[in-house]
Amino acid sequence: MNEIFLMKLGEIVLKGANKRQFENKLRQNVRRRMKPFGNFDVYIMQSTVYVQPLDQEADLEGAWAACHTIFGVVSLCRCRPCEKDLDAIYNAIEEYLGEDLDCAKSFKVESKRSDKAFPMTSIAISQEIGGRLAEAHPTVEVDVHHPEYTVYVEIRDLAAYVHGPAEPGAGGLPTGVGGRAMCLLSGGIDSPVAAYMMAKRGMEIECVHFFSYPYTSQLARDKVLELARLVTRYSGRMTVNIVSFTKIQEQIRDHCPEEFFTLIMRRFMMEIAQRIAKADGCGALITGENLGQVASQTMEAMTVTGAVVDIPIFMPLIGMDKEEIVTIARKIGTLDTSILPYEDCCTVFTPKHPKTKPTLGQVLHAEQKLDREALIREALETVEKLTVRYHDDPLL
Protein backbone atom coordinates (compact mmCIF):
# COMPACT_ATOMS: atom_id res chain seq x y z
CA MET A 1 0.00 0.00 0.00
CA ASN A 2 1.24 3.51 -0.78
CA GLU A 3 2.58 6.05 1.69
CA ILE A 4 -0.06 8.49 2.95
CA PHE A 5 -0.20 11.50 5.26
CA LEU A 6 -2.10 11.67 8.53
CA MET A 7 -2.86 15.20 9.72
CA LYS A 8 -4.20 15.57 13.27
CA LEU A 9 -6.78 18.28 13.91
CA GLY A 10 -5.98 21.05 16.37
CA GLU A 11 -8.52 23.06 18.33
CA ILE A 12 -11.25 21.99 15.92
CA VAL A 13 -11.71 18.94 18.15
CA LEU A 14 -12.97 21.25 20.91
CA LYS A 15 -15.85 22.55 18.81
CA GLY A 16 -19.41 21.52 19.55
CA ALA A 17 -22.37 21.30 17.22
CA ASN A 18 -20.56 23.27 14.49
CA LYS A 19 -17.51 20.98 14.42
CA ARG A 20 -18.58 19.53 11.06
CA GLN A 21 -18.51 23.01 9.51
CA PHE A 22 -14.86 23.43 10.51
CA GLU A 23 -13.95 19.95 9.29
CA ASN A 24 -15.61 20.52 5.92
CA LYS A 25 -13.73 23.78 5.44
CA LEU A 26 -10.45 22.15 6.34
CA ARG A 27 -11.06 19.31 3.91
CA GLN A 28 -11.83 21.81 1.14
CA ASN A 29 -8.65 23.74 1.91
CA VAL A 30 -6.50 20.61 1.90
CA ARG A 31 -7.98 19.44 -1.41
CA ARG A 32 -7.33 22.83 -2.99
CA ARG A 33 -3.75 22.93 -1.70
CA MET A 34 -3.02 19.43 -3.01
CA LYS A 35 -4.16 20.15 -6.59
CA PRO A 36 -0.78 21.44 -7.84
CA PHE A 37 0.86 18.19 -6.74
CA GLY A 38 -1.34 15.58 -8.43
CA ASN A 39 -4.37 13.46 -7.57
CA PHE A 40 -5.05 12.96 -3.87
CA ASP A 41 -7.99 11.62 -1.94
CA VAL A 42 -8.68 13.76 1.13
CA TYR A 43 -11.08 12.68 3.86
CA ILE A 44 -11.55 13.11 7.61
CA MET A 45 -12.13 10.34 10.14
CA GLN A 46 -11.62 10.30 13.92
CA SER A 47 -10.29 13.89 14.08
CA THR A 48 -7.65 13.11 11.46
CA VAL A 49 -7.27 14.25 7.87
CA TYR A 50 -6.13 11.47 5.54
CA VAL A 51 -4.22 12.59 2.44
CA GLN A 52 -3.76 9.66 0.08
CA PRO A 53 -2.09 9.80 -3.37
CA LEU A 54 -4.20 8.14 -6.04
CA ASP A 55 -1.40 7.38 -8.50
CA GLN A 56 2.37 7.15 -8.80
CA GLU A 57 2.63 10.53 -10.53
CA ALA A 58 1.70 12.48 -7.39
CA ASP A 59 4.45 14.80 -6.09
CA LEU A 60 4.67 13.56 -2.51
CA GLU A 61 7.51 15.88 -1.49
CA GLY A 62 5.72 19.00 -2.74
CA ALA A 63 2.46 17.91 -1.14
CA TRP A 64 4.19 17.13 2.15
CA ALA A 65 5.76 20.61 2.28
CA ALA A 66 2.38 22.21 1.51
CA CYS A 67 0.67 20.26 4.29
CA HIS A 68 2.87 22.03 6.85
CA THR A 69 1.31 25.38 5.91
CA ILE A 70 -2.38 24.46 6.20
CA PHE A 71 -4.10 26.07 9.16
CA GLY A 72 -6.24 23.79 11.33
CA VAL A 73 -3.66 21.01 11.61
CA VAL A 74 -1.69 20.60 14.85
CA SER A 75 0.65 17.79 13.75
CA LEU A 76 1.24 15.55 10.74
CA CYS A 77 3.14 12.44 9.78
CA ARG A 78 3.99 10.34 6.75
CA CYS A 79 2.92 6.76 7.32
CA ARG A 80 2.55 3.32 5.78
CA PRO A 81 -0.93 1.73 5.87
CA CYS A 82 -1.15 -2.04 6.28
CA GLU A 83 -3.55 -4.79 7.25
CA LYS A 84 -4.71 -4.91 10.87
CA ASP A 85 -2.59 -7.94 11.59
CA LEU A 86 0.53 -8.21 13.77
CA ASP A 87 2.64 -9.79 11.04
CA ALA A 88 1.57 -7.13 8.53
CA ILE A 89 2.29 -4.36 11.06
CA TYR A 90 5.74 -5.72 11.86
CA ASN A 91 6.62 -6.14 8.18
CA ALA A 92 5.43 -2.61 7.39
CA ILE A 93 7.63 -1.21 10.17
CA GLU A 94 10.68 -3.08 8.91
CA GLU A 95 10.13 -1.95 5.32
CA TYR A 96 9.17 1.62 6.10
CA LEU A 97 11.11 2.51 9.27
CA GLY A 98 13.86 -0.12 9.50
CA GLU A 99 16.67 2.15 8.34
CA ASP A 100 15.66 4.93 10.73
CA LEU A 101 15.50 2.40 13.55
CA ASP A 102 19.02 1.16 12.80
CA CYS A 103 20.36 4.73 13.04
CA ALA A 104 18.97 5.22 16.57
CA LYS A 105 20.65 4.29 19.85
CA SER A 106 17.36 3.43 21.54
CA PHE A 107 13.69 3.01 20.68
CA LYS A 108 10.24 2.19 21.94
CA VAL A 109 6.91 1.32 20.32
CA GLU A 110 3.85 3.41 21.13
CA SER A 111 0.47 2.08 20.01
CA LYS A 112 -3.01 3.53 19.82
CA ARG A 113 -6.04 1.34 19.21
CA SER A 114 -8.92 3.47 17.92
CA ASP A 115 -10.62 0.37 16.52
CA LYS A 116 -11.81 -1.31 19.72
CA ALA A 117 -12.75 -4.43 17.76
CA PHE A 118 -9.07 -5.23 17.41
CA PRO A 119 -8.43 -8.08 19.88
CA MET A 120 -5.27 -6.72 21.54
CA THR A 121 -4.87 -3.71 23.82
CA SER A 122 -2.53 -0.86 22.95
CA ILE A 123 -0.02 -2.00 25.57
CA ALA A 124 -0.08 -5.56 24.27
CA ILE A 125 0.51 -4.38 20.70
CA SER A 126 3.49 -2.29 21.81
CA GLN A 127 4.97 -5.19 23.76
CA GLU A 128 4.58 -7.71 20.93
CA ILE A 129 5.88 -5.43 18.15
CA GLY A 130 8.61 -4.02 20.40
CA GLY A 131 9.82 -7.52 21.24
CA ARG A 132 10.05 -8.50 17.58
CA LEU A 133 11.92 -5.31 16.69
CA ALA A 134 14.34 -5.77 19.59
CA GLU A 135 15.27 -9.21 18.26
CA ALA A 136 15.66 -7.91 14.70
CA HIS A 137 17.75 -4.88 15.77
CA PRO A 138 19.96 -6.12 18.63
CA THR A 139 22.25 -3.05 18.50
CA VAL A 140 19.33 -0.70 19.27
CA GLU A 141 18.47 -0.53 22.96
CA VAL A 142 14.88 -0.62 24.20
CA ASP A 143 14.13 2.49 26.29
CA VAL A 144 10.47 3.09 27.12
CA HIS A 145 11.17 6.29 29.07
CA HIS A 146 13.59 8.38 26.98
CA PRO A 147 13.96 6.73 23.57
CA GLU A 148 15.90 8.37 20.79
CA TYR A 149 13.36 7.07 18.27
CA THR A 150 9.70 6.12 18.67
CA VAL A 151 7.80 3.77 16.38
CA TYR A 152 4.09 4.57 16.31
CA VAL A 153 1.37 2.06 15.52
CA GLU A 154 -2.22 3.27 15.04
CA ILE A 155 -5.05 0.75 14.67
CA ARG A 156 -7.84 2.68 12.96
CA ASP A 157 -11.14 1.80 11.30
CA LEU A 158 -9.84 1.23 7.78
CA ALA A 159 -6.31 -0.05 8.39
CA ALA A 160 -3.31 -0.04 10.65
CA TYR A 161 -0.78 2.76 10.17
CA VAL A 162 2.90 2.81 11.14
CA HIS A 163 5.05 5.92 11.29
CA GLY A 164 7.89 7.70 13.02
CA PRO A 165 7.65 10.88 15.11
CA ALA A 166 5.09 13.45 13.91
CA GLU A 167 6.04 16.98 12.86
CA PRO A 168 4.36 20.21 14.00
CA GLY A 169 1.54 21.55 11.84
CA ALA A 170 0.60 25.18 11.21
CA GLY A 171 -2.01 25.18 14.00
CA GLY A 172 -4.85 27.66 14.15
CA LEU A 173 -8.21 27.33 12.42
CA PRO A 174 -9.02 26.54 8.78
CA THR A 175 -8.80 29.57 6.52
CA GLY A 176 -12.29 30.85 5.76
CA VAL A 177 -14.12 29.93 8.97
CA GLY A 178 -13.43 33.33 10.57
CA GLY A 179 -14.85 35.59 7.88
CA ARG A 180 -13.01 37.93 5.53
CA ALA A 181 -10.87 40.96 6.37
CA MET A 182 -8.83 43.62 4.59
CA CYS A 183 -5.16 43.97 5.60
CA LEU A 184 -3.31 47.24 5.06
CA LEU A 185 -0.12 45.82 3.56
CA SER A 186 3.03 47.94 3.51
CA GLY A 187 6.52 46.88 2.54
CA GLY A 188 7.68 46.53 6.12
CA ILE A 189 8.12 43.63 8.51
CA ASP A 190 4.93 44.00 10.53
CA SER A 191 1.93 43.94 8.18
CA PRO A 192 2.72 40.59 6.46
CA VAL A 193 3.04 39.03 9.92
CA ALA A 194 -0.31 40.57 10.92
CA ALA A 195 -1.94 39.08 7.81
CA TYR A 196 -0.45 35.67 8.60
CA MET A 197 -1.62 35.77 12.21
CA MET A 198 -5.21 36.62 11.33
CA ALA A 199 -5.23 33.98 8.58
CA LYS A 200 -4.15 31.54 11.28
CA ARG A 201 -7.34 32.41 13.16
CA GLY A 202 -9.39 31.30 10.17
CA MET A 203 -9.76 34.62 8.35
CA GLU A 204 -9.72 34.92 4.59
CA ILE A 205 -7.34 37.78 3.77
CA GLU A 206 -7.53 40.50 1.16
CA CYS A 207 -4.94 43.29 1.05
CA VAL A 208 -4.73 46.96 0.14
CA HIS A 209 -1.48 48.76 -0.62
CA PHE A 210 -1.01 52.49 -1.10
CA PHE A 211 1.44 53.34 -3.87
CA SER A 212 2.98 56.81 -4.27
CA TYR A 213 4.72 56.94 -7.62
CA PRO A 214 7.14 58.61 -8.37
CA TYR A 215 8.07 59.02 -4.69
CA THR A 216 8.12 55.23 -4.42
CA SER A 217 9.44 52.96 -7.15
CA GLN A 218 8.13 50.03 -9.15
CA LEU A 219 10.49 47.89 -7.07
CA ALA A 220 8.65 48.99 -3.94
CA ARG A 221 5.37 47.93 -5.53
CA ASP A 222 6.82 44.58 -6.58
CA LYS A 223 8.19 44.10 -3.07
CA VAL A 224 4.70 44.36 -1.60
CA LEU A 225 3.24 41.95 -4.15
CA GLU A 226 6.06 39.51 -3.36
CA LEU A 227 5.26 39.78 0.36
CA ALA A 228 1.63 39.02 -0.43
CA ARG A 229 2.72 36.02 -2.50
CA LEU A 230 4.77 34.68 0.40
CA VAL A 231 1.83 35.05 2.80
CA THR A 232 -0.41 33.09 0.42
CA ARG A 233 1.71 30.03 1.18
CA TYR A 234 -0.38 29.94 4.37
CA SER A 235 -3.51 31.92 3.57
CA GLY A 236 -4.23 30.69 0.06
CA ARG A 237 -4.60 33.02 -2.90
CA MET A 238 -5.56 36.61 -2.19
CA THR A 239 -6.56 39.82 -3.91
CA VAL A 240 -4.24 42.80 -3.54
CA ASN A 241 -5.75 46.24 -4.16
CA ILE A 242 -3.18 48.81 -5.33
CA VAL A 243 -4.29 52.38 -4.64
CA SER A 244 -2.60 55.46 -6.11
CA PHE A 245 -1.87 57.64 -3.09
CA THR A 246 0.38 60.32 -4.55
CA LYS A 247 -2.16 63.14 -4.87
CA ILE A 248 -3.48 62.68 -1.34
CA GLN A 249 0.03 62.86 0.11
CA GLU A 250 0.86 65.95 -1.93
CA GLN A 251 -2.36 67.65 -0.78
CA ILE A 252 -1.54 66.82 2.85
CA ARG A 253 1.97 68.23 2.38
CA ASP A 254 0.66 71.44 0.81
CA HIS A 255 -2.29 72.18 3.11
CA CYS A 256 -1.74 70.60 6.54
CA PRO A 257 0.60 71.28 9.47
CA GLU A 258 3.68 69.09 9.26
CA GLU A 259 3.31 67.50 12.70
CA PHE A 260 -0.01 65.96 11.57
CA PHE A 261 1.18 64.61 8.19
CA THR A 262 1.38 60.94 9.20
CA LEU A 263 -1.85 60.97 11.21
CA ILE A 264 -3.87 62.50 8.39
CA MET A 265 -2.28 60.17 5.86
CA ARG A 266 -3.24 57.15 7.95
CA ARG A 267 -6.80 58.44 8.35
CA PHE A 268 -7.12 58.52 4.56
CA MET A 269 -5.67 55.01 4.35
CA MET A 270 -8.11 53.65 6.89
CA GLU A 271 -11.15 55.21 5.25
CA ILE A 272 -10.16 54.10 1.74
CA ALA A 273 -9.38 50.60 3.01
CA GLN A 274 -12.78 50.43 4.70
CA ARG A 275 -14.63 51.41 1.54
CA ILE A 276 -12.82 48.77 -0.51
CA ALA A 277 -13.37 46.25 2.29
CA LYS A 278 -17.12 46.82 2.44
CA ALA A 279 -17.43 46.61 -1.34
CA ASP A 280 -15.59 43.27 -1.31
CA GLY A 281 -17.46 41.72 1.60
CA CYS A 282 -14.78 42.18 4.25
CA GLY A 283 -16.03 42.71 7.77
CA ALA A 284 -12.87 44.09 9.40
CA LEU A 285 -9.52 45.77 8.80
CA ILE A 286 -6.15 44.33 9.81
CA THR A 287 -3.10 46.48 10.55
CA GLY A 288 0.42 45.72 11.70
CA GLU A 289 0.37 48.41 14.37
CA ASN A 290 2.39 47.81 17.51
CA LEU A 291 1.83 49.99 20.58
CA GLY A 292 4.57 52.58 20.98
CA GLN A 293 6.71 51.39 18.07
CA VAL A 294 6.49 54.70 16.17
CA ALA A 295 4.88 58.08 16.78
CA SER A 296 1.68 57.19 14.92
CA GLN A 297 1.19 54.09 17.10
CA THR A 298 0.56 55.69 20.46
CA MET A 299 -2.81 55.03 22.02
CA GLU A 300 -3.93 58.59 21.27
CA ALA A 301 -2.75 58.46 17.66
CA MET A 302 -4.45 55.13 16.99
CA THR A 303 -7.66 56.49 18.47
CA VAL A 304 -7.57 59.38 16.00
CA THR A 305 -6.71 57.25 12.95
CA GLY A 306 -9.31 54.63 13.82
CA ALA A 307 -12.07 57.20 14.26
CA VAL A 308 -12.78 57.33 10.51
CA VAL A 309 -13.97 53.71 10.28
CA ASP A 310 -16.97 51.88 11.74
CA ILE A 311 -15.85 48.26 11.30
CA PRO A 312 -13.51 46.39 13.66
CA ILE A 313 -9.76 46.96 13.38
CA PHE A 314 -7.71 43.87 14.27
CA MET A 315 -4.14 44.55 15.47
CA PRO A 316 -2.63 41.13 16.23
CA LEU A 317 0.85 42.59 16.91
CA ILE A 318 -0.27 45.29 19.30
CA GLY A 319 1.41 43.86 22.42
CA MET A 320 4.44 42.19 20.84
CA ASP A 321 8.00 43.43 20.87
CA LYS A 322 9.98 43.76 17.66
CA GLU A 323 12.05 40.64 18.18
CA GLU A 324 8.91 38.52 18.51
CA ILE A 325 7.58 39.95 15.25
CA VAL A 326 10.91 39.39 13.48
CA THR A 327 10.96 35.78 14.67
CA ILE A 328 7.57 35.12 13.07
CA ALA A 329 8.57 36.96 9.88
CA ARG A 330 11.65 34.77 9.62
CA LYS A 331 9.57 31.63 10.25
CA ILE A 332 7.04 32.40 7.50
CA GLY A 333 9.68 33.53 5.02
CA THR A 334 8.81 37.23 4.67
CA LEU A 335 11.69 38.82 6.58
CA ASP A 336 14.32 38.87 3.83
CA THR A 337 11.89 40.54 1.43
CA SER A 338 10.61 43.00 4.04
CA ILE A 339 14.09 44.36 4.75
CA LEU A 340 14.90 45.07 1.10
CA PRO A 341 15.66 48.83 0.82
CA TYR A 342 12.64 49.84 -1.29
CA GLU A 343 10.71 52.47 0.65
CA ASP A 344 6.91 52.59 0.74
CA CYS A 345 4.58 55.56 0.96
CA CYS A 346 4.71 55.65 4.77
CA THR A 347 8.23 57.09 4.55
CA VAL A 348 7.21 59.90 2.17
CA PHE A 349 6.95 63.41 3.71
CA THR A 350 7.68 62.08 7.21
CA PRO A 351 7.44 64.94 9.76
CA LYS A 352 10.52 65.83 11.79
CA HIS A 353 8.49 66.21 14.97
CA PRO A 354 5.26 64.18 14.67
CA LYS A 355 2.40 64.69 17.07
CA THR A 356 2.34 61.74 19.48
CA LYS A 357 -0.65 62.67 21.66
CA PRO A 358 -3.17 64.25 19.30
CA THR A 359 -6.83 64.84 19.95
CA LEU A 360 -9.50 64.25 17.35
CA GLY A 361 -10.39 67.95 17.39
CA GLN A 362 -6.81 68.94 16.59
CA VAL A 363 -6.62 66.57 13.63
CA LEU A 364 -10.00 67.60 12.24
CA HIS A 365 -8.86 71.21 12.38
CA ALA A 366 -5.53 70.33 10.72
CA GLU A 367 -7.21 68.62 7.75
CA GLN A 368 -10.04 71.12 7.25
CA LYS A 369 -8.50 72.57 4.07
CA LEU A 370 -8.68 69.19 2.35
CA ASP A 371 -11.65 68.02 0.30
CA ARG A 372 -11.56 64.55 1.85
CA GLU A 373 -14.47 63.10 -0.05
CA ALA A 374 -13.21 64.22 -3.45
CA LEU A 375 -9.72 62.91 -2.75
CA ILE A 376 -11.05 59.57 -1.55
CA ARG A 377 -13.35 59.16 -4.57
CA GLU A 378 -10.48 59.94 -6.93
CA ALA A 379 -8.20 57.42 -5.17
CA LEU A 380 -10.87 54.73 -5.35
CA GLU A 381 -11.07 55.23 -9.11
CA THR A 382 -7.39 54.23 -9.38
CA VAL A 383 -7.73 50.88 -7.61
CA GLU A 384 -6.00 48.03 -9.43
CA LYS A 385 -7.05 44.55 -8.29
CA LEU A 386 -4.45 41.81 -8.62
CA THR A 387 -4.80 38.12 -7.71
CA VAL A 388 -1.72 36.66 -6.06
CA ARG A 389 -0.92 32.95 -5.65
CA TYR A 390 2.02 31.26 -3.98
CA HIS A 391 2.93 29.31 -7.11
CA ASP A 392 3.22 32.48 -9.18
CA ASP A 393 6.75 33.42 -10.25
CA PRO A 394 8.59 35.50 -7.59
CA LEU A 395 8.74 39.19 -8.42
CA LEU A 396 12.10 39.85 -6.77
Residue 44 belongs to domain with CATH number: 3.30.70.1510
CATH number at residue 249: 3.40.50.620
Q: Looking at the domain assignment, is residue 396 inside a domain?
A: no
Quick check: is 132 in a domain?
A: yes
Confidence check: pLDDT of 1 > 70? no
pLDDT bracket for residue 295 (50, 70, 90): confident
* Whether residue 62 is found in the same domain as residue 200: no
Whether residues 274 and 215 fall in one domain: yes
**Are 131 and 207 in a shared domain?**
no
Could you give the percent of the chain with pLDDT greater than 90?
88
Task: Tell me the mean pLDDT in the region 370-387.
Answer: 97
* Contact (CB, 8 A) for 73 and 169: yes
279 occurs within a structural domain: yes
Same domain, 361 and 375: yes
| Mean pLDDT score of the chain | 94
Average pLDDT, stretch 44-72?
95
**CA angle in degrees (0–180, nearest 5) for 201-207-212:** 150
In a domain, 49, yes or no: yes
Task: Give per-residue pLDDT as tens, 307-335.
Answer: 999 999 999 999 999 999 999 999 999 99
Of 288-297, 320-329, 338-347, the least confident: 338-347
Domain housing 293: 180-388
CATH number where 106 lies: 3.30.2130.30
48 and 97 in a common domain: no
If asked whether residues 234 and 355 sit together in one domain, one would say yes
- Are 299 and 345 found together in one domain? yes
Distances (CA, A) of 214 to 132, 184, 331, 367, 380: 72, 20, 33, 24, 19
Q: Are residues 279 and 193 in the same domain?
A: yes
Tell me if 395 is assigned to some domain: no
Of 104, 139, 173, the residue that ends a domain is 173
Domain end position, chosen among 118, 141, 173 = 173
Q: Does residue 369 share a domain with residue 252?
A: yes
pLDDT at 376 over 70: yes
Q: What is the pLDDT of residues 93-150, one digit of tens each?
A: 999 999 999 999 999 999 999 999 999 999 999 999 999 999 999 999 999 999 999 9
393 part of a folded domain? no
Q: How distant, in Å, are the alpha carbons of 37, 67, 214, 333 from that of 76?
A: 18, 8, 47, 21
- On whether residue 373 sits in a domain, the answer given is yes
Amino acid present at 137: H
Tell me what the mean pLDDT of segment 277-303 comes to. 93
Same domain (yes/no): 78, 215 = no
91 CB neighbour count, 10 Å cutoff:
16
Residues 242 and 110 in one domain: no
Residue 215 lies in a domain: yes
Confidence bin at 346 (pLDDT 50/70/90): low
Do 204 and 271 fall within a single domain?
yes
Q: State how many domains the chain has.
A: 3
